[in-house]
Amino acid sequence: MIDRPSDNELSRRGFLRQTLALGGAAAASSVMPFSGAWAAGSDAPEKKEVRIGFIPLTDCASVVMAAVQKFDEKYGIKIIATKEASWASIRDKLVNGELDAAHVLYGLVYGVHMGIGGPKKDMAVLATLNNNGQAITLGNKFRDMGVTDGAALQKAVAAKPGEYTFAQTFPTGTHAMWLYYWLAANGIDPMKDVKVITVPPPQMVANMRVGNMDGFCVGEPWNNRAIMDKIGFTAVTTQDIWTDHPEKVLGTTAEFAQKNPNTARAMTAAILEAGRWIDASLANRRKTAETIAQKSYVNTDMDVILERMLGRYQNGLGKSWDDKNHMKFFNDGAVNFPYLSDGMWFLTQHKRWGLLKGEVDYAAVAKSINRIDIYKQAAAAAGVSLPKSDMRSSKLIDGVVWDGKDAKKYAGSFKIKVA
C-alpha cells in the first residue's frame, strides 16, 4: 500500500522526516529538494532544456502537461515535448542522443538494454508514467462471424490457422506482450497460429480500415477511434489482462542519467506533479484531454480521448460500463514507482517468446535499469509517498500470480511458449 503524506509532510521539514526514514541523514542530504549537496556540489539541473519524445497516445499526457502547466519550471528546467512518428524513431533518437528522455514502452527500454529489438545501449527507467488504458481491438469481420471474445477467437483461428493477422506496436513493447499473453491465455500461439506485424500507434486505425490486419493491440485513443469509425470493437482491455499493469515509462539512457542526475531528478519530479494534477479531478482530466487532442499532440477529437480517460467505456458491441481501472497517471504515487518486479516481468515475456536468448539474472538487470535512487529523490522533492517494497504481486487474466520471486521458473512455466 502507498502511505499518503499529510499536509505537514509536504513541508521542508516533512521532506527531511521522509528521507530520514529512507535511510538516515546521509540519504536525507541527497534527497532534500534544492538544498544541500547534489551532483558536483550543486542541486542545479545540468541541462536547463530537455527534449522528451512522445508518441501520439493518451498516456503521453503527464509529459505534455508537465510542460503546459509549467511544473517543469518549478524544478528549474524547460521540457520540450517532441512528437515522434514511431517507437523505432523514439528508440533511435534516445540511443543517439537526439532525445534526452522519452515517453516510451517499458519493454522497449528493456529490449534495447539487452540488445534485442535494436542496437544495444545501457538504459534507465526513471518512473512509470501510467497504469492501464490499452486494449485489444478486433475487426468487424469477427463480429460478423459471431467472434467477440477470446474463446470464440480460438475456435476461429483453429479452423483457419495462419489466416488472421494481428498488429502490435513494437516487437519488445508492452502492446506485443499484452497481445501475446491474451492470445496464449486463450489457447492461441501467437508465434504459430496467427501472423503478427508491427504498426505505429497512429496508423493502426487506417491499416485496419484497408484490411492490413484483423486485430490489434494499442494504447488509447486508437481503440476508441476504431469504434467511433465503426471498423472494430474492443475484445478486452489490458486492465482486464493485468489490473494496474505498468505501461509507459519515463525512459532515458544510463549515460544521460549518470551525466545529468539533477536533470533526471527534476524531470521525474515535474512529471510526478503533472500525473498528480491530472488524477486530482475530472475537470483536470477534461482539460488534459482538450490539450492533448490538439494537432501538435495526439491530433484527434477530444471526445475520443476523454471518454476512456474518465473510465466511460463502450465496446462497440452495445455494452457500456464505468471502468474503475481506467488509465491512471498517479494514484497516490502507486502508478509511478519503478517496481523491480514490473521490469522483470517484461524480461520473462521476452524469454518466453524467444526474443531473449539464454538465461539472465532478472533481478540484477532490473536493478541496473530501474533508477529507484533517482525516483526516491524526485518523490521527496514532489512530496510523493513511497511503497513499502520495490516488488509487488499481481494476478493476471489466466489466474497466474506474478510476484518476481522466481522469475526463471515463471518464464519457463507457460504451456504456450517458444521452445
Nearest-angstrom CA–CA distance, 381 and 13: 12
Segment 248-277 mean pLDDT: 98
Nearest-angstrom CA–CA distance, 79 and 66: 8
pLDDT band at 117 (very low <50, low <70, confident <90, very high): confident
pLDDT band at 254 (very low <50, low <70, confident <90, very high): very high
Whole-angstrom CA distances from 169 to 91, 108, 117, 282 are 13, 10, 12, 29
Per-residue model confidence as pLDDT tens digits over 273-298:
999 999 999 999 999 999 999 999 99
- Closest alpha carbon to 64 in 17, 129, 112: 129
Per-residue model confidence as pLDDT tens digits over 15-24:
333 333 333 3
Phi-psi region of 95 (alpha: psi -120 to 50; beta: other; left: phi over 0): alpha
Above 90 in pLDDT, residue 335?
yes
Do the bridges between strand 49-54 and strand 101-105 make them parallel or antiparallel, or are there none, so unpaired? parallel
- Closest alpha carbon to 112 in 197, 173, 174: 173
Per-residue model confidence as pLDDT tens digits over 29-62:
233 333 333 455 678 999 999 999 999 999 999 9
pTM: 0.90
Nearest-angstrom CA–CA distance, 54 and 84: 6
Above 60 in pLDDT, residue 389?
yes
Nearest-angstrom CA–CA distance, 116 and 207: 26
Whole-angstrom CA distances from 181 to 150, 353, 407 are 11, 10, 16
Nearest-angstrom CA–CA distance, 200 and 372: 30
Percent of the chain with pLDDT over 70: 90
- The CA dihedral of 276, 278, 284, 290, to the nearest 10 degrees, is 160
Mean pLDDT check: name the lowest of 18-27, 124-133, 164-173, 362-371.
18-27
Percent of the chain with pLDDT over 90: 88
Whole-angstrom CA distances from 253 to 189, 264, 370, 414 are 34, 11, 11, 32
Question: What pLDDT does 15 receive?
Answer: 33
Question: What pLDDT does 39 receive?
Answer: 52
Above 60 in pLDDT, residue 25?
no
Question: What pLDDT does 35 receive?
Answer: 34
Domains present along the chain, CATH in parentheses: 7-130+247-342+358-391 (3.40.190.10)
Phi, psi of 232 (to 5 degrees): -170, 180
Residue 320 carries which side chain, given as an amino acid letter? Answer: S
**Contact between residue 56 and residue 200 where contact means Cβ atoms under 8 Å apart:** no
Question: What pLDDT does 419 receive?
Answer: 75
Segment 81-109 mean pLDDT: 98
Whole-angstrom CA distances from 205 to 84, 87, 209, 228, 232 are 18, 17, 6, 11, 9
Nearest-angstrom CA–CA distance, 370 and 372: 6
Which DSSP helix (H) or strand (E) runs through 306? helix 302-309
Above 70 in pLDDT, residue 228?
yes
Above 60 in pLDDT, residue 118?
yes
Phi-psi region of 40 (alpha: psi -120 to 50; beta: other; left: phi over 0): left
**Contact between residue 400 and residue 416 where contact means Cβ atoms under 8 Å apart:** no
Nearest-angstrom CA–CA distance, 370 and 81: 22
**Contact between residue 313 and residue 221 where contact means Cβ atoms under 8 Å apart:** no
Question: What pLDDT does 20 receive?
Answer: 33
116 C-beta neighbours (distance < 10 Å), count: 17
Whole-angstrom CA distances from 362 to 20, 125, 347, 366, 405 are 30, 15, 7, 6, 10
Question: What pLDDT does 42 receive?
Answer: 79
- Closest alpha carbon to 83 in 394, 227, 294, 350: 294
Which DSSP helix (H) or strand (E) runs through 294? none
Segment 251-257 mean pLDDT: 98
Segment 178-201 mean pLDDT: 98
Do the bridges between strand 78-83 and strand 49-54 make them parallel or antiparallel, or are there none, so unpaired? parallel
Question: What pLDDT does 362 receive?
Answer: 98
The whole-chain average pLDDT of the chain stands at 91
